[in-house]
Structure 1
Amino acid sequence: MGLLIDGQWHDQWYDTGKTGGAFQRSTAKFRNWITADGAPGPSGEGGFRAEPGRYHLYVSLACPWAHRTLIFRKLKGLEEMIGTSVVHPDMLSDGWSFADDYPGATGDRLHGLPFARDIYLRADPQVSGRVTVPILWDATRQTIVSNESSEIIRMFNAAFDHLTGNTADFWPEDLRAAIEPVNDRIYDTLNNGVYKAGFATTQDAYDAAVRPLFDTMGWLEDRLTTRRYLMGDRITEADWRLFTTLVRFDAVYHGHFKCNRARLVDYPNLWAYTRELYQRPGVAETVNLDHITRHYHYSHETINPHRIVPIGPDPDFLAPHGRETLQAA
């Protein structure tokens, strides 16, 4: 993954030499919010009113952060309001590409540009930072609304409700204070923890990442013994933020990122919970294990220099999960 510096592309990986071998994720650059009336959100500036056809979502089917936004687009009935473009699974020296010569890759349906970095440059010709997905584009103002997935899913959760009539709420006000620490632990040790383990370049950095990761897996396994979902009997954003990591775990994180103390399928509650979420209407359509397996193994040359794409496991996400009668604690 390269980056832009003052509008110029550099094929440059994270410099773990400055961090003792530890991977440190960059923060998102664009932090505006779509709101129902266009008023400013918690960050950025106002002027991004929810309107049909105004916004376009750029995603990778391999990326768990982008996957969150696709799930919320589906669950909130936003397919007709927000178009999508899907990048090629191979992220090489030019970063995310809009080449469309791989099944599922669509090209840039909005501008016809060759690379994701061109979307950033269209928003700001002098921009500096990593070129990541998802990218939420405003076709009216010709700029990026946001490239922060955790905030995009909250926009999708509520901003368009008055237009769609879909009032499903995955960020309920009465659970927000309880959701935040759960989100924080899962993000630090698991969502991002798999990357901290996989991209570590020293033993100490790897050990510091992988041990808390499996502590959290055990904590989640215990939590889901008495709760159908992370917060009890209601499914929330915390579940979907976790799901996109779990659904990739055995296929790529277990082997490719050396998170091999145990597999997802070795945790009965977590595995059944993942199957239940996968089987929710519309969710399976957002999961593409071919893109997931191809991207990680083919793109990360520092980890897999020969770019051998393994055959991988064949998990049965459609097997009965048996969690229907589990009561909330």
Structure 2
Amino acid sequence: MPATPEPAVPSLPPFRGRIGRDPRSGHYAVPRRYRLHLSLSCPHCLGIAVTHSLLGLADVLPVTLLPAVPDRPDGGHTALLPLYEASSHRHPGPAAAPVLSDDWTGRIVSTHTPDILRDLARQFGPYGRGGADLFPPGAEAETDAVRRLCEHGVNEAAQSAGRTGAGREEALAALLRVLGSLEWRLTSAPYLLGDTITVADVELWVTLVRLDTVHRRHLDAAAVEGIAGHPRLWDYARRLAAHPAFGPHLDLDGIARRHDAHCRGPEAAGAALRILDWGVPVVAQTV
């Protein structure tokens, strides 16, 4: 039986509202008008939470944390139902996180993670205390390329490598090539795009967390040893875990419970191995 690390959620068009500076757009940046609804066991939510902390938005954009395991059979959260019902009459899909909502109207602005990340940085960033420039000028294409690489080159390849049947070895080989390219990239700079943390690092860190805490459990021991054989890449993951905007959001128990609640795939020998001890704090030297 194939491994299914994430619950099967119906594919529905996301809410795609944007936050603009022009008041005529309806959604303009105002401190404490909007709210994030996040479940830290979800990789998309984890990335948004890290970005929110890097930008120092705690006093600008409140966060409501949801349980690690969705409480509805369709993979949604009961607590989000009022927002979904107010935003979409008889909404046909799950009331899923992440959600950026408007407290003034009681409706959803966006559920689309890339848009939420951009709006946090560009529209709310000037109000924050973090001072981070997570979308450097001229790096848009490179940032999008990293996001696609994480989703297809790592997440999808790792899922395929954890399934039984044809294509497993090819998927593992493709995954190791991608990890090797990332290892090489980190030889010349501490972060993916240079000397400072950007949203590309948030994307990759969340992907590495998922690789070691979820996908690894469906891989054989040799595959996990191959994945672990990229010391710069995993040292980078360890350094970011020590950063106060990253590590405190890492809910290892919640990730495990979410996975166990929905996964029907068999575990393999890799489940007994561990690449990083994410729960042990380390001293960050370059972050």
Query: What range describes the TM-score normalised by the shorter chain of this pair?
Result: 0.7 to 0.9
Task: Work out the percentage of aligned pairs sharing the same amino acid.
Answer: 27
In the other structure, the counterpart of 1:249 is: 211
Cα distance in 1, alignment partners of residues 161 and 96 from structure 2: 20
For structure 2, the residue ranges without an aligned partner over 5 or more in a row are 1-6
In the other structure, the counterpart of 2:20 is: 35
Equivalent residues in 2 for 1:87-102, closer than 5 Å: 87-91=66-70, 94-96=73-75
Give the drift of 1:169. 1.1
Residues 1:183 and 1:89: Cα distance change in structure 2 (over 3 Å): closer
Q: Is the 1:251–1:312 contact (alpha carbons within 8 Å) kept by the matching residues of 2? A: no
Three-state SS of the structure 2 residue aligned to 1:319 is coil
In the other structure, the counterpart of 1:127 is: 91
Give the drift of 1:78. 1.2
Q: Which has the higher helix share?
A: 2
Three-state SS of the structure 1 residue aligned to 2:97 is coil
CA displacement, residues 145-186 of structure 1 (integer Å, 9 cap, x when unaligned): 111112211111121234336542111112223333233222
Give the drift of 1:62. 0.8
Q: Which amino acid aligns with 1:66?
A: C
Residue of 239, 255, 268 corresponding to 2:201: 239
Three-state SS of the structure 1 residue aligned to 2:26 is coil
CA displacement, residues 74-120 of structure 1 (integer Å, 9 cap, x when unaligned): 1111112222222222346524465xxxxxxxxxxxxxxx3444532
In the other structure, the counterpart of 2:180 is: 218
Q: Which amino acid aligns with 1:277?
A: L
Q: Does 1:283 find its partner at 2:246?
A: yes
Residues 1:123 and 1:161: Cα distance change in structure 2 (over 3 Å): same
Q: Which amino acid aligns with 1:69?
A: I
Give the drift of 1:187. 2.3
Give the drift of 1:293. 1.4
Q: Is the 1:137–1:143 contact (alpha carbons within 8 Å) kept by the matching residues of 2? A: yes
State the TM-score, normalized to the length of structure 2: 0.81
In the other structure, the counterpart of 1:267 is: 230
Q: Does 1:295 find its partner at 2:258?
A: yes
Cα distance in 2, alignment partners of residues 206 and 125 from structure 1: 42
Q: Which amino acid aligns with 1:149?
A: T
Residues 1:156 and 1:258: Cα distance change in structure 2 (over 3 Å): farther
Give the drift of 1:213. 2.3
Give the drift of 1:50. 1.2
Give the drift of 1:37. 3.4
State the TM-score, normalized to the length of structure 1: 0.72
Residue of 316, 319, 322 corresponding to 2:282: 319
Three-state SS of the structure 1 residue aligned to 2:224 is coil
Aligned-residue RMSD, C-alpha? 3.2
Cα distance in 2, alignment partners of residues 203 and 184 from structure 1: 25
Q: Does 1:183 find its partner at 2:147?
A: yes
Residue of 167, 172, 190 corresponding to 1:228: 190
Q: Does 1:138 find its partner at 2:123?
A: no
CA displacement, residues 253-284 of structure 1 (integer Å, 9 cap, x when unaligned): 21146796125543210111011111223321
Give the drift of 1:61. 1.2
Give the drift of 1:27. 6.1
Cα distance in 2, alignment partners of residues 171 and 289 from structure 1: 28
Q: Is the 1:36–1:160 contact (alpha carbons within 8 Å) kept by the matching residues of 2? A: no
Residues 1:97 and 1:179: Cα distance change in structure 2 (over 3 Å): closer
